[in-house]
Structures are given as C-alpha cells and as structure tokens.
Structure 1
C-alpha cells in the first residue's frame, strides 16, 4: 500500500518485515481441534488456504513457492480476535478470574502480595488478551475477551457413516441423523501477522489481497467465508533487547504453541522446555525462589483432505504458558522464536521483566472488533424481485377477475387459440385483424373482429393507445407500480406473463356461456 512506501524505502536488503493485517469473518467459522473447538484460526489453515489460491495461477515449481509456504523464510501467524483495535494472543495463564469476587480479573503475577487466593482464581480458557498502554502511560495492562460462539443443528439428509445401511446390498443409510456443531459467529474481526524478507513483501501483499479466504469445515456451504479487511501496518522486524537488573525475575510468555523435538520425539517435560528457553535467553534454567511456572499442554492434529487421512498428533506446550527465570544483569531479547513449525507461527514467545509485569496491573474486559457482515445486495435484489413478480401476478389475477365484459358475443374459442399462438401483444392484435366473416357485420361494431379488438385493447391498452400498459393490467395499483417501475427485472418477468389477464377473462366467459 502507498502509505507504507516510506517505511519500505528505509529498509535494507537484509531486513525482515512484519506485516499486520485484519480479516472479517463474513460467515460463521468452524475450526475443529483435537476434541475441542478452536477459536483462533491456526497458521496451518492460513497457509493451506493461501497456498491453494497461489497454485491456481502458479505451480509448486515456482521459485517463490517454497519460500512463501514451506521452508520457513516466511512465518505466518495464527489469526486471533482483534480486541480494542489490537491483535490479541491466547490469554496468559497469570491472568485469572476471581470466581468469589464477582468475576474480577487480575494479573496474579502483578498482585502477588495481595490476598486473593481464597477467592477461587480461575484461568480463562478460550479467552484472548491484548496488551495496551494508555496515552498517559499509566496502568498498562491487558484487555481480555472471548469470541462469541453458537451451536448450529444440521440434518444429514443422505445419512452418515454412523447410520445403519437399509440393506446389505445398498449403500443408502436407513436413518437420517441430526447432528450439531459449534461455530464462531460471523462479523468479528480477526488479525494476524506475516514476517518475510524484504524481497517477498509484494508477493505476500498480493496473495493476501487476491485470495478467496475460507477456513475450517464446510467451506463449500454456508460456513468459512472471510475477507481481507485491511493491511494495518508494515514495519521492520528487528531484534530488540531489554535491559535487566541482576536477580530480578524475567518472564517468558508463549504467544503461540511451542513444539520442541528431541531425539526424534516431541517433548513437553517442564525441565527440558525450561532448558531450551533458558538457552535462547542466555540465562540459567533455575526457577527463582518463591516463583513458579504456569504451563499447560495439549495435542494438535489436522486432516489431509487430499488423502483423507489424519495428520500425526503432536503434543505441544500451550500458548499462554508462563515460565519464570532469574536475570543475570545482561540484556535479553524482547521476543524469542524456537522449536518446530516456525513457518506456522509456532514457538513465538515474548519476554517481560519484573518491572514491566508490575506495570501491567490493569486487567479489564475488552471488546472484540466487529463489522457489519457484508450485505449481498445481488442476492437481496433477486429475492425482492421475486416478491414483486409474485405480487404483480396476483394483481393481474385480481384485475382479470374484476374486469367486466360488456359484450357477450365474444369468439372465446378462437381468441383462446390465437392467444396460445401469439408471441406478443402486437402479434395477437395482428391475428385478430385477420378475422373474416361472410356477412357484412364483420365491419360493424357487433362483428366478431371488432368485439375481439375492443375487448383486447380494453384490457391491455389505454384509450387511444396501441401498446400494452403494464400498469393497467396490474389494476392501476400506484403503490405496487412505483416499486415495480424501479426493478426492470420484475417488469420483464411480468411482461412475459402478459397473457394471464386475457386467459382468466376468456376462461370466465367460457363457463358463463356453458351455464
């Protein structure tokens, strides 16, 4: 984007760039995990979606494909809710809700000396937190929110694999199963980041802007549709270091899941994880006296739709886990990246000193950013047009039923035949003009030709006119005509049904003669 051109010019060829972007959930999104519902969109889903879109116009042999999606040159983050304008992370485990204190939120590490442990602290599973610093630089902290979720019930019309077969020789299922699934509500704004080399910036921005974003289950039905809302920022991604005082606590907080592999297997052993993190920080892995770690583990999986196979399940340290170390007095990196699946945004941790943690004492309920779901104007117009056509046809029928025929000497049978063969109103008038009679009355007012012409013109045309008036056969309903006149599609559909009034009137006359 033009607004970031100045930033891009200041970058060197060796610099990496961090691109922040927001998407809107235009439809509910269902993101299954291993026995649980994901409320963030995993980076592997983002990569899969964007790589699929890329391959529609390119191929896997493209020199950029590996760099963008496979070898780790570009790191894609998961997509998480945007809370009060900031891209959030899974809520750190030091943030707790006090069940016996009206659900008050606190930072347990910033309020270690306050008596709150008897108030039933509860971790906030499924919540996300965005760090904020007020303009007056006071009471920095975390804004916490949870995505809105709803349950949808579906009926498996053709049965499922759990249903019984109707017979041994049939593939049809005997029962139709009702099942349910949880989905993230449409309308929320989610955000993520991409870290890439300078030479790939334009490629990444092009991919994001052109991709058909669809995530999760049921992508071909009413779920999964998303769209790029905006590119929020493009900035240099340079290593920053923070100073520490010797002996003070240093906290490592996982922004994303951490997958560590040793000796051919993934580990979640607390001591080994601490050792890996300590090496990245350049610190000892000993826990400071009186401190503790807050960590949890879970299993991630996936599904290979091409081969219809489950991906291997991998045990990982859960995002939001907190590890405490003792500072040596040397500076430490503000962000560390370690472990496997780096291109999928795994292993990103941010570092907070004790001083910074004490400043982040404020924990409040935040608000996830929303946009109004995009109105599909085309679809709405189609539905409204159908309603207008239906109302127009009903008005035609009422007009025909109320129409009074003055002359009963109408050649009903002949007019019905002509009407069935006429291509349009003018063609019908031409056919009526060919009516011939043996006696002189054919040119008189009582002749069949004149009677037929007067009837048809009286139904369809205004006095002195020779053209069909749609407003007239709608019964002169001004309100209905005002609406229909703004919709050419409705007018065309009603003009195709121009025969309806005359058909009804001739039908009435036919049965009137029989009586």
Structure 2
C-alpha cells in the first residue's frame, strides 16, 4: 500500500537546520535537492487524527494502543516510509545521468519545487514592523504530489488506518496560517505494482558441506545502528551481525532458530560498506601519514605502516584515519546524516513543541547511516542450516531493520546473492599479520573479559596448537561492547573488547599453519559477528592508498524518463538570458552615460513600446518613428544589443552542446521576446538609479 499526499497549499516541513543566513526555516530535502516529508511527521499527524477518533468514541483505547504501539514494549501495526515526490525513482535516475555537472546541483534541483516567503511581525501600537522580526522561510509549491510506502503488519487495522489517514488535512509548520493544507488517502497497490520481493539468488544445489553465503544490504532509507553508549546522536558506521541474525531469527521462528543455533556453527559477520560490489574491511590503526599530508595529483596517499617500525624520526606523523579499504587499497567511507525531530506535549491544546520535559515535550536529533549505500557480509553455515536460512529468507517481504524502523528509518533490500565453499588450505609460515576485522571479546581463565595480549596469545596458541607464539608490535585499540536483549528487555553486560582495525604481528620459530585462521573467528559471541580476523603475509613498510573514483554522468546515455532535466535546462536558459542581457548593457555603459539626460525618458518610452508590440521587428519599426533623434538612437542601440531571437538560439545551442541532450523550451517566441525586454528594462532602471547616485 501507499499513502498519496497532494499539496493543496504551500508546505514547509521544517528541517531544524540553518545552512546560511538567507533561510531561517528550511524544508527537508535529500542529497539530490528533492524535498520530501519525513515519515515521523506523517505518522505523528496520523496518530493525532486517530487520537481525535478515540476521543469521539470511534476507536477504543486498546485499538489505538495496538495500532501505534507502545515505546519499548509493543510494535506499531504499520510501517511508514518517507513521502517522496511522485515518480521519485525516475527523477533520480535522470539526475544521476548528469552527475558531476552544475546543472543538477542540489540548489538548482531544489528551486524547481520550492520558493521562499518573507514575513515580519507588526507592532500593533506603532503599526510598524518589530525590530529583528524579518524571517524568510522556504516552502514546497502547492500542487506537488508525494507518495509514501506503507506496509501493514496487522492487516485487521487497514480500515482504521484508512480512516485516520483521510482525516489528516494539515501537516508541517504554520498550518493555521495558510500552509500545509493537504489531501491524503491510503491506496492499495494493484497486482501489477505489488511485486513480491526476491531476496535469495542462491540455489540449494550450489550448497556444500560448509558454506560462506554472501549477503548484501542496500539502504532504501536511512538506518540507525545505535552505539553501545546509547547516544542517539551517534550511529555505528556498519550494520552489526546481530541485527542480521535477528532478521533470520524472526524469519525462522523461535523453535527453529533455537534448534539451528544449538550446535553453534552459524556465524553472521558484520555488514561493511561495499565498493563496486565488494565488501571493504576496516583500515588498520597502525597506518600513519605525515601531518596534513594531502593526496597527490594521481589521487594517491603514501602511508607508513608503524607495525614494521619504520624510521620516522625527522617526520611528524599522525594517524591516517582510514575508515575502510577495499582489496585495491581504495579508501571508502560511510555517509551518515543527522535529522532533527520533536515531540509535542501530551496536552494537545498546546499546538507546538515546548521542549519542557514536564509536559512530555522534547526536541531531539537522530544520527543515521544515509540511504543509497550498499553493505555486505557473510553467513557461515553447514548445508542443513544454510538450506533453512535460504528457505526462511525467501519468504520475507518488505524488510526493515534498526532503530525507528516503523517510520522513516530502516527500509532495506536484503539479498543473499552468492555462495562459496569453505575449505582449509595449509599455509605453513613463521610470521604473519593478524588484523581484527570486527570487535573482539576475549575471556581469561577466570571467565572475566580481558582484552590484553596475554589472553590473545592463549587463544591463538590453542587454535594453532603451538607453544612458542610471540605477539610483536601490537597496535590494539579498545572499545566498549554492550547491547540490549529485546526479548528479555534487559541490557547485556558492558565489557571491554578489542576494536576493529587493531593489528598485531605474529611470530613462531617453529612455524604455524596460517590456514587454520582463515574463515575462523576468535573469542566469544562470534555468532553475532564478533571476533572476525584476517591473516596476511607481512607487507612493505609503506602502503599506498587511493581516493575513491568519482563517477560522472558525462558519458552515460541520456535517455530521459522524467521531466526534471527539461525543467533544469529551462531554468538555466532563463538564468543565462538574464546574465547575457546584464553583460551587454554593462558593456554599453559608456553609451548610456553619455546620454544620461535622456536615459530615463528613453527607458520609459521603451517600456510602453515593449508592452504594445508583439515582436522584435515591430519594436524596431516603432522605434524608428520616435521624433527625438537622441532618444531614438539610444532606444535603437539598446534594442539591437538585446535581440531575443538571436539570444534564444545561441543559449539553446550552447546548452544542448554542453549537456549533450535536446530540450523543449517552455516559452514561445513571443514569451521569449517579453522575457528578454522585461529583464532589459529592469536592468536599465538599475543603471539609471546608479547614474543618479540613488543606490
């Protein structure tokens, strides 16, 4: 199902952000510049409508609680996504084809759907504006249609939800001052639109005795992965394995999941950011660079791996701060965002948030991983458990994960797309580099959490069956590990562990089989993704990393499926028309200055003639009939400098060559004529004032 929202008046969904001094109250828009309505705002409006239904006796208190859930104890009966402009995917597809060009800059796109309003406050005693009361707000234009995906967890509440949605008539700020009037309706998708999601692309016949299933998670909306500290203004930059394990548990059911996990041979790794379809791993904390060292012109950055003790006595070094690296040593980073929210007072007669905790109102912010990114990880399982997992995941419909997934956050596309056989290969070596790919929990012989090198050595010696293992040059960083058990509604123990990205050098005089550490996890709670390690041969002291490649839309095929590029090209045409007219008149400044005594009269005469004549040729003919020679020559020079037909042809040809795409001008010849001379006269008025010293 989806909720369709048509704007019957302008709308401002306040973002809570101020990027500059021009806009005091801005709308919410995405990285493309496309405005949207956050799901939390929509759900809050629907909740208020349902609350009115409850007060009128149309809905019981029990039904209301079941429909919207209870914080921390009961799920909502429906999930709601952000409301995006109708045809959003087609618009984004076209914008991506011109990625990297000024045409599709965020502000250019935003201007197609919004405009600014300015307002002030009046002192009723004096009748003049109050000091410091001038405010500018950006609003979304009326007539635009938004659509929000809606999925019902409890189908029996469909009619109730439909009624509540239809009652909502205002959203956003200043809804009592003419903004935010909407028409909302819940629409059931027909069979052609309601396509069942496919999550599994692995056949059972491809499974082996021990399997490494590769999964990807594409974020269709922002996802919140709370840190153990519980600070909602921070999020992890990866999706923890326990979240994927919880997804599988929900698909399997309690009994089947307990049976599968009883043998402790299912492991789900963390999902890290992907680049070109490949999973990246955390960068080593041993990598350092010279202070303030930039990338060179080739996009390369030379780093020193302090694990090998390079000579850097005369150089000031600093941590490289590499979040993730792929197999080609390209640097990857996870985009995150902060969104601002509020909770209104419990007393609904107060029509705005106060931030006063006593009346239940609050302002808060949420940090999340931005939408549009892909994360990847692995599921290790034997044949029997792998078959169970594939069968369960196949039956999943729309998938949401993370905090706040009933509204705005957590919509993802989860896929298991490939499988590899897990094999042990003997690799007899004396020295190796061990990198912690995920946070690791170690316990000492007393059953206490201990993240030191002595405990690590005991774990490794037991795994490798040797007694002379040495841990050299450890670069260990520690982190706090905790969590929350939803079933038991209890916090997990807060303990200290080794943080991902830590690295040590292993050495054994007798040698060891490094193959035993491949596809192997160390420590405790490995089923949730903890304890993932990677073993490599020692490398060079210097490591070269590369900037991620920037993909441009210049060489993509320009087969457009929406009208957004045509709108942007028309807006660019209008801007260039104004700029060229301003430039031509500025270049004619000396001529205008010489005729300053008749300039004002000439501008007034020209304004009357432009309104009366319908084209350039008639205007020239009318100018020739002016009796005053000086005024006639001045008008003629101005008009000939600004030829609308020539300007239109030049600008259109330039835009089509620059962006390699044709477009349809939304103004006809007469409208272009009037636009050109309207701008011309406006500019002439300005120059006249400048000449008189009025500005």
Tell me, yes or no, if structure 1 residue 264 matches structure 2 residue 447: yes
CA distance in 1, matches of 2:550, 2:363: 32
Tell me, yes or no, if structure 1 residue 154 matches structure 2 residue 341: yes
Q: Which deviates the most, 31-40 or 143-152?
A: 31-40
Deviation, structure 1 residue 348 = 2.0
Cα pair 1:283 1:325 within 8 Å, conserved: no
1:351 to 504, 528, 535: 535
Map of 1:403-482 to 2, 5 A cutoff?
none
SS in structure 2 of the partner of residue 61 of structure 1: helix
Tell me, yes or no, if structure 1 residue 337 matches structure 2 residue 521: yes
1:252 matched to which residue of 2?
434
CA gap 1:84/1:358 in 2 versus in 1, 3 angstroms = farther
Unaligned runs of 5+ in 1: 133-141, 166-171, 370-515
> What per-residue deviation string (whole Å, max 9, x for no partner) do you get for residues 317-363 of structure 1?
11221111213334322423221112112222121122xx2399432
Cα pair 1:275 1:285 within 8 Å, conserved: no
CA distance in 1, matches of 2:313, 2:344: 53
CA distance in 1, matches of 2:204, 2:489: 44
Tell me, yes or no, if structure 1 residue 236 matches structure 2 residue 424: no
Cα pair 2:272 2:377 within 8 Å, conserved: yes
Cα pair 2:440 2:530 within 8 Å, conserved: yes
SS in structure 2 of the partner of residue 187 of structure 1: coil
Unaligned runs of 5+ in 2: 1-199, 296-300, 347-352, 552-695
Cα pair 2:290 2:317 within 8 Å, conserved: yes
2:503 to 309, 322, 332: 322
> What per-residue deviation string (whole Å, max 9, x for no partner) do you get for residues 199-257 of structure 1?
222222233343343222111110011112x434211111223232x5xx321111122
Which protein shows a greater Rg?
A: 1
CA distance in 2, matches of 1:116, 1:210: 60
Deviation, structure 1 residue 94 = 2.6
Cα pair 2:464 2:512 within 8 Å, conserved: no
Map of 1:88-103 to 2, 5 A cutoff?
88-102=280-294
Cα pair 1:189 1:368 within 8 Å, conserved: no
> RMSD across aligned C-alpha pairs, in angstroms?
3.3
CA gap 1:366/1:3 in 2 versus in 1, 3 angstroms = same
CA distance in 1, matches of 2:384, 2:263: 16
2:246 matched to which residue of 1?
48
1:216 matched to which residue of 2?
402
Map of 1:187-198 to 2, 5 A cutoff?
187-198=372-383
Tell me, yes or no, if structure 1 residue 183 matches structure 2 residue 375: no
Deviation, structure 1 residue 306 = 4.1
Cα pair 2:217 2:412 within 8 Å, conserved: yes
Deviation, structure 1 residue 292 = 0.8
1:226 to 412, 419, 422: 412
CA distance in 1, matches of 2:306, 2:466: 20
CA gap 1:163/1:50 in 2 versus in 1, 3 angstroms = farther
CA gap 1:368/1:66 in 2 versus in 1, 3 angstroms = farther
CA distance in 2, matches of 1:4, 1:217: 32
Tell me, yes or no, if structure 1 residue 23 matches structure 2 residue 217: yes
CA distance in 1, matches of 2:369, 2:527: 25
Greater relative CO, 1 or 2 (CA 8 Å, sep 6+): 1
CA distance in 2, matches of 1:299, 1:368: 35
Cα pair 1:87 1:190 within 8 Å, conserved: yes
Cα pair 1:4 1:233 within 8 Å, conserved: no
1:145 matched to which residue of 2?
332
Tell me, yes or no, if structure 1 residue 72 matches structure 2 residue 264: yes
CA distance in 2, matches of 1:131, 1:109: 20
CA distance in 1, matches of 2:204, 2:402: 34
Cα pair 2:222 2:368 within 8 Å, conserved: yes
Deviation, structure 1 residue 66 = 2.3
CA gap 1:299/1:113 in 2 versus in 1, 3 angstroms = closer
Equivalenced residue count is: 334
Deviation, structure 1 residue 105 = 5.1
CA distance in 2, matches of 1:269, 1:112: 21
Map of 1:306-317 to 2, 5 A cutoff?
306-317=487-498
1:382 matched to which residue of 2?
none
SS in structure 2 of the partner of residue 199 of structure 1: helix
Q: What TM-score comes out, normalization by structure 2 length?
A: 0.44
Deviation, structure 1 residue 191 = 0.7
Q: What TM-score comes out, normalization by structure 1 length?
A: 0.58
1:280 to 463, 479, 487: 463
